[in-house]
């Protein structure tokens, strides 16, 4: 069972497991907004509805290998985005990280970096993950800066993988290793 309430907090934000009852029409709007989702593969699965989003969140919440967190502003307990760790590969002890800051008004305030840092700490300390990996479109400067500020290093570049606005762009892969990882934990 996934823990209830805040799992990590830092500065002005905290993370908690996202539950189906937290899905709002505003969250669904983020998924359908062409500016917000321009670098997310989820844009090809739309249009998204409240029902389809609730089903996705329910599946993530019930799946022990996926950890979908709401990024919440402490002031007003306002949902501003999500960060996901998973699926967890239990054999090799790695997982992928993906992030969405849906509230445009908070872009550029460091909340992405803080959320990545907290999710990384949780994955390393509570889930005993050895390595976390993230990928992003090369033009997505915001994601690159957030991951690098959170201590991730660019490890690879898959040339011209994604078609973005009529042009093929590279997929940058970054990663972070848990230096305190213990096999027997």
Question: Does 91 reside within a domain?
Answer: yes
The one-digit pLDDT tens for each residue of the chain (185 residues) are 788 899 999 999 999 999 999 999 999 999 999 999 889 888 888 799 999 999 999 999 999 999 999 999 999 999 999 999 999 999 999 999 999 999 999 999 999 999 999 999 999 999 999 999 999 999 999 999 999 999 999 999 999 999 999 999 999 999 999 998 876 65
Question: Does 184 reside within a domain?
Answer: no
Question: Does 23 reside within a domain?
Answer: yes
Question: Does 182 reside within a domain?
Answer: no
Question: Does 185 reside within a domain?
Answer: no
Question: Does 69 reside within a domain?
Answer: yes
Q: What is the CATH number of the domain that holds 27?
A: 3.40.630.30
Question: Does 107 reside within a domain?
Answer: yes
Q: Which residues have a Cβ under 8 Å from the Cβ of 10 and sit 6 or more positions away?
A: 114, 117, 118
Domain extent, residue 138, equals 6-177
Give the angle 129-132-138 at the CA atoms, nearest 5°. 175
Question: Does 183 reside within a domain?
Answer: no
């Amino acid at each position: 069972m996934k823990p209830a309430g805040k799992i990590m907090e830092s500065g002005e934000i905290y993370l908690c497991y996202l539950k189906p009852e937290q899905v709002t029409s505003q969250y669904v709007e983020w998924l359908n907004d062409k500016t917000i989702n321009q670098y997310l593969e989820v844009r090809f699965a739309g249009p998204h509805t409240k029902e389809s989003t609730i089903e996705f969140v329910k599946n993530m919440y019930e799946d022990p290998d996926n950890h979908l967190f709401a990024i919440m502003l402490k002031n007003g307990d306002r949902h501003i985005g999500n960060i996901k760790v998973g699926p967890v590969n239990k054999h090799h002890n790695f997982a992928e990280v993906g992030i969405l800051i849906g509230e445009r008004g908070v872009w550029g305030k460091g909340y992405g970096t803080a959320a990545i840092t907290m999710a990384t700490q949780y994955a390393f300390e509570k889930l005993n993950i050895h390595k976390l990996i993230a990928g992003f479109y090369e033009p997505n400067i915001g994601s690159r800066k957030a991951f690098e500020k959170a201590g991730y290093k660019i490890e690879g570049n898959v040339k011209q993988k994604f078609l973005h606005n009529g042009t093929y762009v590279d997929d940058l892969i970054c990663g972070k290793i848990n230096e305190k990882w213990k096999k027997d934990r």
